[in-house]
Structure 1
Amino acid sequence: MKVRSITKNKGKPVIGLTPTDPLDRAVTLMIDNKIASLVVTENDKLVGILSERDLLNILHEKHAVWVPLTAKDAMTPDPFTCEPDNTLEEVMNIMVDHNIRHLPVVYKGKLEGMLSITDIVEELLKKAKFENKLLRNYIQNWPDAEEGAEASE
């Protein structure tokens, strides 16, 4: 399964900011959209990712000096990314290896979407339910042992 199969069905635009946007705008966007990370773009190029974890780190470092801080102050620059044709196994390995929960999806330098660990879990759960249903149908339609014995006589 490829990243593309998840991002094309999400349907939502990628929500983000510019490096000069104030952090209070970032918090407002996260709360209003019920999301945990934002892409940071400049001239339509991905320059960073701003996560809840980044916000906590900057607040701790700056001792809650909030107002003058911008997205650039807190974001993770040059974040790990994936491409639409990466497999889910590949992106799960990136997330686990680097302890991250969100991956911007970039194709030929252009931001195409955002993939979250929740997106992956939902897709895998949907696949597991489908496979479970197929197996149940297969087992329910399995010929009985008696029917098999009668057929061989």
Structure 2
Amino acid sequence: MGLTPNDSLDRAVTLMMDNRIGSLVVTDNKKLVGILSERDLLSVLHDKHAIWAPITVKDAMTPNPYTCDPDNTLEEVMSIMVEHNVRHLPVVYKGKLEGMLSITDIVEELLKKAKFENKLLKNYIQNWPDAEEGAEDTE
């Protein structure tokens, strides 16, 4: 799901609201040319004093957005997001848009990882030999 540079901001906002998402990729002939985020919309509203009817996506989008590669690690993706203060990263492979990662995707993955590690630790602790058993073995 995405936009072209000449789409209206009304269409962009409708897509975001209907799909409960915070950003959309902007493509031209299937090539990534920008990203339109909630921040971009707020910025153009502020700059244009809330008159956006004649404004197109091209006027509001961030051109040449930061991207990540499908082979990037979770840590690399988080570093890109933190370093550039972005909450959405288009995933590009060999110049082709493959998808979009959001900060929510990152948090969900970290939560899954934490739950898995907690489960492993609980299992490890439950199987820990009792101190009394260890003392009996030495007698």
Superposition TM-score, scaled by structure 2 size:
0.97
| Separation in 1, partners of 2:125, 2:49 | 61
Q: Which amino acid aligns with 1:26?
A: A
**Correspondence for 1:63 among 26, 34, 49:** 49
For 1:126-149, what per-residue CA distance to the aligned partner results, in whole angstroms no more than 9, with x for missing partners?
100110011011101101111112
What stretches of structure 2 of length at least 5 have no aligned partner?
none
**Correspondence for 1:123 among 109, 117, 120:** 109
- Would you say how many aligned residue pairs link Structure 1 and Structure 2? 139
Q: Which amino acid aligns with 2:72?
A: N
Partner SS, residue 100 of structure 2: strand
Shift of 1:67: 1.1
Give the alignment's Cα RMSD to 1 decimal: 0.8
Partner of 1:24: 10
What stretches of structure 1 of length at least 5 have no aligned partner?
1-14
| Separation in 1, partners of 2:93, 2:7 | 25
Q: Sequence identity of aligned pairs in percent?
A: 83
Query: Which gives a bigger RCO, structure 1 or 2 (Cα 8 Å, sep 6+)?
Result: 1
| Separation in 2, partners of 1:139, 1:128 | 16
1:1-153 pair list within 5 angstroms: 15-153=1-139
Q: Which amino acid aligns with 1:144?
A: D
Superposition TM-score, scaled by structure 1 size:
0.88
Q: Which amino acid aligns with 2:77?
A: V
